[in-house]
Every structure is written in structure tokens, then in C-alpha cells.
Structure 1
Amino acid sequence: MRLAAVALGVVAIIATFADTATRATINPFNFFGFFTMQSNIIWLIVIAITGILVLRGKKQSSLLLLARGCATAYMILVGVIYNALLAGQEGGVALDWANNVVHIILPIYAVLDWILFADRPPLAWKHLWASLIYPMVWVVVVLIRGATDGWVPYPFFNPATGYGLVFTYVLAIAVLTVVTAAIVWALSRLKRVKLEAESGALGQDSRQSV
């Protein structure tokens, strides 16, 4: 299931890239500069590694488990923000099916995968801060680009609106990230389905906190 989800996500991203290339010259820094695109890629890489380890009966490292928690939080943000605020508006992915994959199907699968399968221990609350690393690095890069070459992925990061408003959105992103990650951390404590392929590999480690 995980590798099938990865294949679907990769196909959606490649199809979006190819479709965009037929209508305009692509700047890769712009195409891959959106939070949606980067969050999907991060999650796809993490879940691909996880799926391969499950098939091989190998134990997941603490770092990978932490990355899974963070990536799941980012996918929740993508799904919730897009469907609550941006769906039906201009922008997003031009291909409808690919747009649904990156904004709806994969975020839903990411949540179900995290809730249902017992191949990860509860995440330690002391590591919740790690969920902020990627979003804040992304924000810094976006602000630098907005102030230099003028490109921003979303209108609310445009310096022309005033940096007071821009930093208000930055704060909002930080708060939303921590809240969403806290939900993911809490969900890691639910009872879930045991993956037989991992029963021997995780053992005692699956009962320990990261």
C-alpha cells in the first residue's frame, strides 16, 4: 500500500511537471518551491523508505520515525489548508486528477497510515520542536526570494503587502505546524493494527518512545 501510494504521488508530480512544460518554460526553483510540492516529496521519500524497510523486515531508525511524524503533519497541513481555504480558487495544480492526488488523496492516506499501522512507537513530546525545522527553513527561503528576485509561492508572502502582514502569516504557519504536529504526536499513542512483517523486527523497540 505504501509503495503504491508513492508510485501514485510520483506519477502525479511528473505529470504535473510535464503538463506545465507544455504551457510555459519551467523554472525548477519555482515549480518545486511550493509548500504543497515539497511536503508531498518529503512524505513520499519517507514513506518509500518505510515501505521498503517493512518489506525487508528491517527496523526503522528513531530519526526515520521522527521524520514520518513530521511529514505526516505537513501533509495534514496541505490537505486542510487547501481544502478549507484554496479549493476552487485560481492556482494549484492544473491537472485535476494530479491536484486531487497531492491535495486530497495522499494527505488522507498519510493520516490513515499513521493512525492504523503499529510499526511506530509513540513519539516523544520533547521532540515536537523538530516539526518546525522544515517549515521555518522554507519560510526563510521564500522571504529571501521575495526580497531579491520577487518570486513568492503565495500572495500573502509578497513583500509589497508589508512585512508586518507577512510576519503575521509566518507566525500563523509556525503555530499551525506545532498544533498539527501535536495532533500527530497524540495519534501516535492510539492502539493500531499490527504489521506482521514487522513483528520480529521491531519487537521491544516498538514499545519505546523515540
Structure 2
Amino acid sequence: MRILFAVLRTVVAVAIIAAIVGQLITSLAFWSSRDVTNVGSNIVNFFSFFTIESNIAAIVVLAIGAYVLIARRGADPEWFQVTRAAVVTYMVVTGIVYNLLLRGIELPQGATLEWSNEILHAVAPAYLLIDWILAPGRRPLGARRIGIVLIYPLAWVVYTLVRAPFVVDQVASTDYWYPYPFLNPNTSPQGYVSVAFYVVLIAAVIGLTAAGVLWISRRWPRAAAETRQAS
């Protein structure tokens, strides 16, 4: 079981890397076709998407997780378990938000590479959740860890809203750049009121998702199950 999930984690990590690189190459070609000159700024924009950052975090967690499964027995280290719970939460929320709010909407990354899009927004989030439920080594985590899980998303929102008004988007010919439409006060029906509503809503979704992820760890601790089977 441990070897199987170590292999699966490695395969999914490689698939995510390929998806990110493939989309970046596609975006670079798109910007070139539009005579975009601030390529450096656009690359920063690319890596400012919550989806991209969450998937990069997933690559790191999957790689470490594959090593941990091979190198040790029993429960995963607590620091890794908390980090993994946070990344699983971000990936599940990425899948939920994209498929409910953003699927079919062209995002400001340039032309979308479809297979990459599906890996980043559907395949990877689904695997991270399945891995959390079924892979060995998971230890129970208390609900107080929700606060830790919320730190990164809140920091990302602050970073996005502070940076976006100062970024020139040559593709859309605007003097601002927002990664997602619901964070853009210039196009939202009620401006920052609408943005605040979506921020609170997504924070609530992240909190509830984190609560569910942590509950799974307590309801079915895989390290304990593995120990019982070994005995």
C-alpha cells in the first residue's frame, strides 16, 4: 500500500509539473503573439494565481509524501501532516471554485491549454482528496488547525488586492490586473462590496473544507489502521 501511494504521488506530481510548464509555455507564446513587452510582469501574474500556487504546493507535498511513505513506517511527522492538510484544503477549494464559478470563463493567463487546465483544476484536486482519505500514514488533527490553514489564503487575498491596481495588463489594455473576475472591483456589480462578499464566502468555504479535511483525519486515522493491520 505504501509503495503504491508513493508511486501515485510521484506520477501526479510529475503530471502537475507538466501541466504548469505546458500552460506557461502556451501563455508565453500567446503574449508574444499579442506583442506584450512586460513579459516579466506577466510571469509574476502567472505565478500569482491561487491555482498555480496551490498546485506548486501540491507538488512539494506529494514529493515529500512519496519519500515519507518509503522511508518510514507509522504516522507521518506532525509538521508534514498539518502542511498536507492545508494543501489538500487549498486544492479541493480550487476544484470547487473553478468548476462552480470559473469554468467557461477566460482567465487573464493567455490562451488556455485544455489538458493542463483539467489537471490543475480537476485531476490534481481529486487525487489530493483521495490520497488524504486512503493513503497510509495520516494522523488525527484537531479542529484548532483551521486557523493555520487559513493563514495562506488570507495572505494571498491581501497580496492580490494590494498589488492588482498597480499592474498594467497589456493584453486587456487595463491599468490593473486581477487573477479572477470576482476579485475585480472594476467589473463587479457593487465594486469592493461584491469583492468583500466573495472573499468572505470563499474564506467560509475554505474554513468548512478545512474542517472536513481535519474531521476525516480524526474519523479514520490511517496510521492507526496500518498499525492494527501490521499487528
The answer, yes or no, to whether TM exceeds 0.5 is yes
Within 1, Cα distance between the matches of 2:53 and 2:91?
10
- Indicate the RMSD between aligned Cα atoms, in angstroms: 2.3
Within 1, Cα distance between the matches of 2:163 and 2:121?
25
Counterpart residue identity of residue 123, structure 1 = L
Could you say which residue in structure 1 is the equivalent of 2:4? none
Counterpart check, 1:6 vs 2:35:
no
Alignment match of 1:32 (pick from 9, 34, 47): 47
Counterpart residue identity of residue 164, structure 1 = V
Counterpart check, 1:165 vs 2:194:
yes
- After TM superposition, give the deviation of residue 51 of structure 1 in Å: 1.0
Within 2, Cα distance between the matches of 1:177 and 1:81?
10
- After TM superposition, give the deviation of residue 88 of structure 1 in Å: 2.5
1:104-161 deviations in Å (ceiling 9; x for gaps):
1111100100001231111111211111111001000011012333211012222324
- Would you say the 8 A contact 1:115–1:190 is kept in 2? no
What count of residue pairs does the alignment treat as equivalent? Answer: 199
Could you say which residue in structure 2 is the equivalent of 1:207? none
Counterpart check, 1:155 vs 2:181:
yes
Q: How does 1:124-203 map to 2 (within 5 A)?
A: 124-149=142-167, 150-160=176-186, 161=188, 162-191=191-220
Alignment match of 1:87 (pick from 82, 85, 103): 103
Could you say which residue in structure 2 is the equivalent of 1:46? 61
Could you say which residue in structure 2 is the equivalent of 1:208? none
Could you say which residue in structure 2 is the equivalent of 1:77? 93
Within 2, Cα distance between the matches of 1:191 and 1:168?
35
- Would you say the 8 A contact 2:139–2:221 is kept in 1? no
Q: How does 1:58-73 map to 2 (within 5 A)?
A: 60-73=76-89
> CA separation of 1:20/1:103 partners in 2, compared to 1, >3 Å: closer, same or farther?
same
Within 1, Cα distance between the matches of 2:224 and 2:94?
27
Which secondary structure does the structure 2 equivalent of 1:189 belong to? helix
Alignment match of 2:25 (pick from 14, 18, 29): 18
- Would you say the 8 A contact 1:117–1:194 is kept in 2? no
Percent sequence identity is: 35
1:29-67 deviations in Å (ceiling 9; x for gaps):
100111111111111111211111212227632111101
- Would you say the 8 A contact 1:117–1:192 is kept in 2? no
Could you say which residue in structure 1 is the equivalent of 2:130? 112
Q: Which runs of 5+ in 1 are unaligned?
A: 204-210
Q: Which runs of 5+ in 2 are unaligned?
A: 1-7, 33-38, 168-175
- After TM superposition, give the deviation of residue 94 of structure 1 in Å: 1.0
Counterpart residue identity of residue 95, structure 2 = G
**Structure index of larger Rg:** 2
Within 1, Cα distance between the matches of 2:72 and 2:224?
10
| Worse-superposed segment, 158-167 or 12-21 | 158-167
Which secondary structure does the structure 2 equivalent of 1:108 belong to? helix
Could you say which residue in structure 2 is the equivalent of 1:206? none
